[in-house]
Structure 1
Amino acid sequence: MSSATNCGFLILTCLLDSLMKYPRERSRGDYMKSDAHESKKLCYLLLGTIFLITVCQPFAGAGGNSQDSPLEGNPLPASVTEIMNDTKYDHAFWGILVEDLETGEVVYQLNPEKMFIPGSTTKLYTGAAALDIIGADYRFETPIYARGNVDSSGNLNGDLILVASGDLTMGGRTTPDGKIDYTDIDHSYANSIGNAILTTPDPLSGLDQLAQQVSAAGIKSVSGDVIIDDRLFDKINPPDSANDYTLTPIVINDNLIDIMVKPAQPGMAAEVDWRPQTAAYAIEADVVTTDANETARIEISTGGPGIINVSGQVPAGEDTIVQTYTVDDPSSFARSLLIEALERQGVKVNASVKGNNPADLLPATTNYSEFERVALLTSLPFSENLKLIMKVSQNMQADSLLPLMAVKEGKRSFWDGLIIERSFLEKTGIDLNAVSISDGRGNSPADYMTPRTTVDLLRYMSSGNDSQVYRDALPILGVDGSLATSVGPESPAKGKVQAKTGTTAKYDVVNDRLILCSQALGGYMNTSEDRKLAFAIYVNNVPVKDVKEMKQVSNDLGSICEAIYEEN
């Protein structure tokens, strides 16, 4: 077999900002259309926050099931080689490694030492490092301080200051039983793949709790301002994220405004609702309901400071369509929402709800001991937040783990977090020469890893105090998260595989099709014979003509898991 050629990348800016500039044409009944016109529109739509947009060169001489030399392990099951020999994989490159966690036996392997584009299986590495550095039981504490004196009438002659702690949900996903809520398709993917499902808890629940405590502390009015202290770490738009989000220690509703569009009768205006609602943002809607056979087309754009324009059309009978708008200033957004939460609790604030966060009025970070703490929000254990990140592949939160790890080690930046992650990976004993990581989510063109390094990491994480926490955070095949529909309800492997998915794709302009630069899966399996396995499956460079074929590649990896489950 000839050696693999280098893979060059060109990042295309097709994330949230770009999506807002183009109409979103999407109808659940029309998702699988194969005509060229619709295919092109779907390609531009789908390649958003869930997919890294890249240009990949195929690995020369790397056939779908070839390898450099014979290796230990059993022959791949016939059903697996049948999948790999399908014509759609003629130009693809496969990597597989399956090991028995108890005996160390190599069960199957194919190109285990070759480097692959990992997609979001990068989160296996980020999440493992964060679990080690931050700790499964760690809880983020977000205080509010009163700067100034409270007089006999309950008026604070000064300011309320919320000090952001890096809590990535701020109580907005907490369920009554003390868990973090998530859905199989997170709202952070609403603009890219559609069909997003909103969680049940009120995204403002945490701010409401803080406001209740401020009121209970005897404060009835605030003559000064409300300020968000967001200085915990250096804010950054992660490289290769096309500026679709800012990493910041203050996060409310993932710093998104959810926009719900519900059709009415043909010819009538569609109903447009949104959450969280705040006076800081107004929505101007012009969405009409069309006949049922028309295609949904929704465009979201900025109409000026604090104005969100929602326009387009939705067909009658369509389910409510969820889209999102990314706020451009998370601290000012949080400030407005906190002022409104205070007012709901009867605390009158003299400052305007609208306007920028007055960060220039913040005290030195060493001065908070001089002020009275009047409220405190304590998060769920970090283990719950990790579950959210891994189950739904939450990109912004995965990238946020890097500066949060840096803070735990007395540093401040995204880049510091990557250096700290390397220190953790050194401890695991994996071959760092076979790993390349430049972000938390798996979006960087510099992200590469081998099946061997992934399985070695999984083996390391299978023992120790955090082993069950790590495993429980992963999507379950056929049950939840990004693996919910990868196998059918009658699959024998349903519920027996816990693994992280990864997808990296691009639009092939010349051929008007998609190229899957990577579809990946890495995790754990309890087989039919109760063998405990760790595995990594990668396939790179798969041409697919439409969205249906792209989904089939993901399902093929699910079928490979079924075969491994049944053969062992």
Structure 2
Amino acid sequence: MVHEARKLAAGARCPDATRVRPPSLASIAGRALAALVLPMAVGLAGSPAARAGEEARPPGAASEHPALERRLEEVLATPGYRHGHWGILVVDARTGKVVYERNPDELFAPASVTKLFSTAAALAELGADFRFETPVVRTGEVDGHGVLNGDLVLVARGDLNMGGRMGPDGTLLFRDDDHTYAGGNPRSDVVEADPLAGLDHLAAEVRAAGVRRVTGDVRIDDRLFEPAESTGSGPRRLAPILINDNVVDVLVRPGKAPGDPASVSIIPVTSYVAVDAQVETGTAAEGTKVDVRAAGPRRLIIRGRIAADQSRLVLIHEVDDPASFARALFLESLQRRGIRTEASPLGVNSAAGLPPPGELLRRPKVAVCTSPPFRESMKIILKVSHNLHASTLPLLLASRHGERTLDAGLRLQGERLRGLGVDLEAISFGGGAGGSRSDLVTPRATVALLKAMMARGDFADFDAALPILGRDGTLARAVSPESPARGHARAKTGTYWVEDDLTGKSVLTSKALAGYMETAAGRPLILAFFVNNVKLDAPRPGRPVSDATADAGRLLGRLCEILYGSDTPPDDPSPRTAPGASRPSTTAR
């Protein structure tokens, strides 16, 4: 397993994928306890079908839709999947009648479908209108000359975007292939938004409050919750302060002709990291290979070649200390606003000696950054399958109840899911993103969650945050642009794979899809597809593992196409469009 983690960390991952990491003994014990507590929290409550609000098919009864069932099972029998294990449940969203099922009560590794559960729990706790508020307080007095004789303290409150990704209309922008997946996905890109917008806003407010010079330190209070690790690929350090997802983006553009030096830049521009870049432009036949490695905590060495016909390449470097990174960027924002400081951006952040959190928040406030409503943060998590943000959600739940640990957050997540009517005996989680060995769900529990969300007043926000089949997010390429089903399903994807050193192949531990769709006849459906343990072909030049996992995604897209084109009529004369079905894409392209 350690060997798998090393390989995957080096870039062998794909969009919406999670990788295995060797956990510490403490995290094994703690997360195993959380995984046990969740399913033990409540007893069984009636039959599985009754819990999901479904009309179960009697054992041995013939299918009501034999032609549909036959077409679906032809897809499930696709060559290469004969050793895979399928779990499927599709029900009518209005009546609960089962349309198709296979192993609906068995536990499956859900991969990033886990995010449906963590996001639903956070939405139930916070509400769609919740906004993060990140204040800056002062610990001393400001004299008549604008001199603050004390510290400026940015109190981190877990804002997942911290002013970044902001579009002109106040909504958050995303790319179908998020920058946090860079390295394993050549399509990964950055959004056209300033990641420092939140810090610049705070710096402007500090100046407006009359501060012109700070004699003390500039500090980040990062005590909201204890440090933890993401269970998905991408940035791994969980912290209550997130600036640009706590990564430095490295953008590489080819020169005009092969042999020319390539252009290398970073986002955000900062003195926090020094860059030593030597990248040349190659021919299209030579291809692209660029490596970014750290030479110490704050120096990046970038070497390689980019093909002349490539527009640009985005890579990332995760910072080793999110609070010190944020401190440096905030200091630079203050300096750009003409506020002089004695502190250096190259220093190390320390919260030692700060007043207790409650007392600190009562100190004079000189600035505040207010986020867009949580429905926007939820959109980023679900559309692009943002592992870092999803992994932070249980910790945010913990912090709202006076707790600071991931284990406490997972227990609270379980309470919220129980309140939504989910059978906790049918789920188990070790994190919020979907990369833990503890993560297991049944198709029936997944459908029950999706059904429960439809009854909530904020369902439209939940539905709108999901990827749209063939249009955006991780479902953008699941069907062809000409597919009749395009735009008629909103669902969360999941991908989890590891390498098989025995054969040189890979194992698709999980490919999953769960959400909502409507058929051509107007019948609204709730669906949950899982396939575990599929042996993939060995990668070869021009055919990386990510292509094979994308093929599996298109296989699930084919199931959606079959359901969309099925001739099963609606069970009642209700309107033909399911809630949120016609909602437009908000992808920033």
**TM value normalised by structure 2:** 0.85
In structure 1, the residue matched to 2:338 is 346
One-letter amino acid of the counterpart of residue 229, structure 1 = D
Question: Quick one: distance in 1 between partners of 2:366 and 2:422?
Answer: 47
Q: Structure 1, residues 79-113: CA drift from partner, whole Å, max 9, x if none?
A: 32221222211111111111112111111111111
Equivalent residues of 2:18, 2:233 under 8 A apart: no
Equivalent residues of 1:143, 1:375 under 8 A apart: yes
In structure 1, the residue matched to 2:531 is 539
Change (3 A) 1:47 1:173: closer
One-letter amino acid of the counterpart of residue 148, structure 1 = G
1:266 is displaced (CA, Å) by 1.8
Q: What secondary structure does 1:562 align onto?
A: helix
Q: Structure 1, residues 114-153: CA drift from partner, whole Å, max 9, x if none?
A: 1111110011111110100122111110011122121222
In structure 2, the residue matched to 1:380 is 372
In structure 1, the residue matched to 2:208 is 216
Q: What secondary structure does 2:352 align onto?
A: helix
Question: Quick one: distance in 1 between partners of 2:98 and 2:309?
Answer: 53
1:432 aligns with 2:432: no
Single out whichever of 174-183 and 291-300 deviates more from structure 2.
291-300
In structure 2, the residue matched to 1:394 is 386
Equivalent residues of 1:14, 1:48 under 8 A apart: no
Question: Quick one: distance in 1 between partners of 2:152 and 2:353?
Answer: 11
Change (3 A) 1:49 1:491: closer
Question: Quick one: distance in 1 between partners of 2:391 and 2:297?
Answer: 28
Q: What secondary structure does 2:349 align onto?
A: coil
Question: Quick one: distance in 2 between partners of 1:460 and 1:218?
Answer: 50
In structure 2, the residue matched to 1:423 is 415
In structure 2, the residue matched to 1:59 is none
1:276 is displaced (CA, Å) by 0.5
In structure 1, the residue matched to 2:549 is 550
Question: Quick one: distance in 2 between partners of 1:383 and 1:15?
Answer: 35
Q: Structure 1, residues 306-353: CA drift from partner, whole Å, max 9, x if none?
A: 111111122222221100000000000000000110111111111111
Given candidates 95, 98, 113, the residue that maps to 1:106 is: 98
Question: Quick one: distance in 2 between partners of 1:93 and 1:464?
Answer: 33
Given candidates 248, 253, 259, the residue that maps to 1:262 is: 253
Give unpaired runs (5+ residues) of structure 1: 1-8, 20-43, 56-66
1:241 is displaced (CA, Å) by 5.4
Change (3 A) 1:369 1:541: closer
Equivalent residues of 1:48, 1:191 under 8 A apart: no
Query: What do you get for the CA RMSD once the two structures are aligned?
Result: 2.2
One-letter amino acid of the counterpart of residue 336, structure 1 = A
Superposed, 1:254-293 pairs within 5 Å as 254-264=245-255, 265-293=257-285
Question: Quick one: distance in 2 between partners of 1:468 and 1:507?
Answer: 39
Equivalent residues of 2:18, 2:434 under 8 A apart: no
Q: What secondary structure does 2:377 align onto?
A: helix
In structure 2, the residue matched to 1:51 is 18
Given candidates 108, 114, 117, the residue that maps to 1:116 is: 108
Equivalent residues of 1:501, 1:521 under 8 A apart: yes
Question: Quick one: distance in 1 between partners of 2:4 and 2:499?
Answer: 10
In structure 1, the residue matched to 2:304 is 312
In structure 1, the residue matched to 2:243 is 252
In structure 1, the residue matched to 2:317 is 325
One-letter amino acid of the counterpart of residue 46, structure 1 = R
Question: Quick one: distance in 1 between partners of 2:199 and 2:117?
Answer: 32
Equivalent residues of 2:234, 2:387 under 8 A apart: no
Q: Which runs of 4+ in 1 moved over 4 A?
A: 240-244
1:205 aligns with 2:216: no
In structure 1, the residue matched to 2:150 is 158
Change (3 A) 1:15 1:466: farther
**TM value normalised by structure 1:** 0.88
Change (3 A) 1:92 1:243: closer
One-letter amino acid of the counterpart of residue 154, structure 2 = L
Question: Quick one: distance in 2 between partners of 1:342 and 1:417?
Answer: 35
1:451 aligns with 2:450: no
Question: Quick one: distance in 1 between partners of 2:181 and 2:268?
Answer: 17
1:187 is displaced (CA, Å) by 0.3
In structure 2, the residue matched to 1:497 is 489
One-letter amino acid of the counterpart of residue 554, structure 2 = N
